[in-house]
Amino acid sequence: MKTVISYIVKFLIGGEKAGALSSLVGYTSDPNKFSRYRVVIIPSPFFRDEVYGTDGSMPKLPLEEIEGVPLLFGSSKVEWQGDTWVVHADIIASAYFLLTRYEEIRRRNVRDIHGRFPGKESLPFKAGFIHRPVVDEYGRLLRRWLRQARVQSAVEPAPRIQKVWLTHDVDAPFYCRTFRNLIRETVRGTGPIQAWKMFNGPLQEDPFYTFPWLLEQRNELKAAIGKGRCESLFFIKSGGSSVYDKPRYKLCSKDLQELLLLCKTEKARIGLHTSYDAGKNPALISTEKELLERQTGKPVIYNRHHYLASREPEDMAWLEKAGITDDFTMGYPDVAGFRLGTSRPVHWINPENKRISPLVLHPLTIMECSLNEPVYMNLGYEDALACSIQLAKQVARANGELVLLWHNDSVTTRIKANVSVDWQRKLFAAIIEELIKS
């Protein structure tokens, strides 16, 4: 447990000096040890063997606050004891609770039809702070307390988005490039003439082949903020047989190979889009990863689960076992915001055995369909843009990563299936423009 506590303290402080500064922070209720530290955080009962994993370990609403920041455990009491600033707000346990998805192991009976823990059932949503990276705010408090205790090197970094990940789940790479698609469009779609043109014409004319446009947006942002601060990442499926894995596409097909070549030429990264089936049976992840690697000719180290269906916290162990180093699944489908309470990449901590994994989680900030789907946030364009800009500002203030998820088929201009599709392209471009200006 000492290793986990040490990691969380360093994570909260952040920056190059986190290791040295963490030695000045104590997590103890023993007054005889207070003088060893500049700041002491009094532990709540959360980590006690008789409490951890029980109903008594869950925060109680309404939450208390410490300097305007929601506090899950402890109290807002602060005091000097000698030269040590003693804080009764247990920001260590509070951060742990959020970073590990602890409430999901305590509430395993709360899942949606896809086996996912709903964002609107989460403590951050119910307590009204899903739109705030509260763990990062704990870090800001801790640095302030250190400065207050005359540790001037605990400086506050200038607000800045450290990296923008423009990620795209390739659920349906093409609209009409198979015989099944051709029959569909001929019988109940655009008609035989237009269907044949899409089926037999250049791939670039396919309505869902919006990848060049998405990469153009990335290139504009890169030119403005620097190459190292912006990446495109395409998550591609390689398995799955359930109805939720449709449409299934062949990695060896000519069209898919052309997409992979475009990614290679444009230096866009490729990740595994773990199938819906593999989300239910994580033992399938390794096989799907190997299939994708066989086609790309390169190791695949990035992952995102289809439907964001990373169902149980400990399922992450299967990603680690498969050789995945970075996961981008951690966002709620039904609400945009900060599922892990942070906007910064963090090592996965297994809440069942309190083990720190090499696997790095990159919290998903915004998925486009979270904003507009009637069963999710049901926002119109203006509100969706305002929400996105506000979340980006929160990321900048926390010096975190902004991870966006826009599907290639949501930015098409050739099919007007519904109103939301019309403005998702406009919204993505508007967010890129705001990031360029900032």
In a domain, 413, yes or no: yes
pLDDT band at 187 (very low <50, low <70, confident <90, very high): low
Q: What is the mean pLDDT of residues 351-362?
A: 97
Residue 150 vs residues 26, 115, 143, 158: alpha-carbon distances, Å: 16, 49, 11, 20
Residue 191: predicted pLDDT: 73
Residue 192 main-chain phi, psi, to 5 deg: -65, -35
What's the pLDDT score for residue 200? 67
d(CA 40, CA 292): 49
Joined tokens for residue 257: 């190979």
pLDDT above 90 coverage of the chain, percent: 90
The domain that holds 214 is classified in CATH as 3.20.20.370
Handedness of CA 409, 413, 419, 425 (dihedral sign): positive
Within a domain: 192: no
- Residue 201 placed within a domain: no
Sign of torsion over alpha carbons 334, 339, 341, 344: negative
How far is residue 299's CA from residue 313's CA, in Å, rounded to a whole number? 25
Q: Is residue 24 part of a domain?
A: yes
Instruction: Give pLDDT tens digits for 277-310.
Output: 999 999 999 999 999 999 999 999 999 999 999 9
Regarding whether 408 and 373 lie in a shared domain, the answer is: yes
The reply to whether 236 and 383 lie within a common domain is yes
- What pLDDT is recorded for position 256? 96
What's the domain count of the chain?
2
**Cross-sheet strand order for the sheet of 163-170:** 346-350, 355-361, 326-327, 302-305, 269-274, 230-236, 163-170, 401-405, 366-367
pLDDT at 199 over 70: no
**Contact between residue 101 and residue 117 where contact means Cβ atoms under 8 Å apart:** yes
Cβ count within 10 A of residue 118: 16
Read off the pLDDT of each residue in 251-259 and give the average, rounded to a whole number. 95
Amino acid sitting at position 286: S
CA distances in angstroms from 217 to 45, 181, 228, 271, 283, listed in the order given: 49, 29, 15, 20, 36
3-class secondary-structure state, position 334: coil
Q: What is the pLDDT of residues 97-127, one digit of tens each?
A: 999 999 999 999 999 999 999 999 999 999 9
Provide, for the chain, the percentages of residues in helix, strand and coil under a 3-state DSSP scheme, each rounded to the nearest 5.
Answer: 45, 15, 40
On whether both 229 and 118 belong to a single domain, the answer is no
- pLDDT tens digit sequence for 123-177: 999 999 999 999 999 999 999 999 999 999 999 999 999 999 999 999 999 986 7
pTM for the whole structure: 0.95
| φ, ψ for residue 310, nearest 5 deg | -85, 95
Encode pLDDT of 20-49 as tens digits. 999 999 999 999 999 999 999 999 999 999
φ and ψ at residue 330, rounded to 5 degrees = -75, 75
Same domain, 130 and 212: no
Strand 355-361 to strand 346-350: parallel, antiparallel, or no bridges (unpaired)?
Answer: antiparallel
Residues 167 and 95 in one domain: no
Task: Tell me if 156 is assigned to some domain.
Answer: no
Among residues 375, 368, 364, which one has the least CA distance to residue 422? 368
Residues 41 and 120 in one domain: yes
Question: Are 227 and 128 part of one and the same domain?
Answer: no
Q: Do 215 and 86 fall into the same domain?
A: no
Q: Which domain holds residue 92?
A: 2-148
Q: Judge if 254 and 371 occupy the same domain.
A: yes
Helical H segments across 227-353, by residue range: 254-265, 276-280, 285-296, 316-322
Does a structural domain hold residue 292?
Answer: yes
- Whether residues 259 and 224 fall in one domain: yes
Going by pLDDT thresholds of 50, 70 and 90, the confidence category of residue 195 is low
Would you say 277 and 248 are in contact if contact means Cβ atoms under 8 Å apart?
A: no
Per-residue confidence (pLDDT) for residue 329, from 0 to 100: 98
Look at residue 185 and tell me if it is in a domain: no
For the record, the structure tokens of 249 come out as 């596409």
Q: Tell me the β-bridge partners of 269.
A: 233
Please give the average per-residue pLDDT across 260-266, as a whole number.
97
Task: Name the domain boundary from 79, 114, 148.
Answer: 148
Q: Which of 27-41, 187-201, 292-306, 338-352 has the lowest mean pLDDT?
A: 187-201
Assign 192 a pLDDT band (cuts: 50, 70, 90). confident
Instruction: For residue 184, name the pLDDT band (cuts at 50, 70, 90).
Output: confident
Question: How far is the first Cα of the chain from the last one, in angstroms, to the nearest whole number?
Answer: 41
Shared-domain flag, residues 115 and 24: yes
Per the domain annotation, does 194 fall within a domain?
Answer: no
Strands 401-405 and 84-89: unpaired
The full length of the chain comes to 438
DSSP 35-92: GG-SEEE---GGGSTTTTTSGGGS--SSPEEETTEEESSEEEEEEEETTEEEEEE-HH
The average confidence (pLDDT) of the chain is 94
Same domain, 234 and 120: no
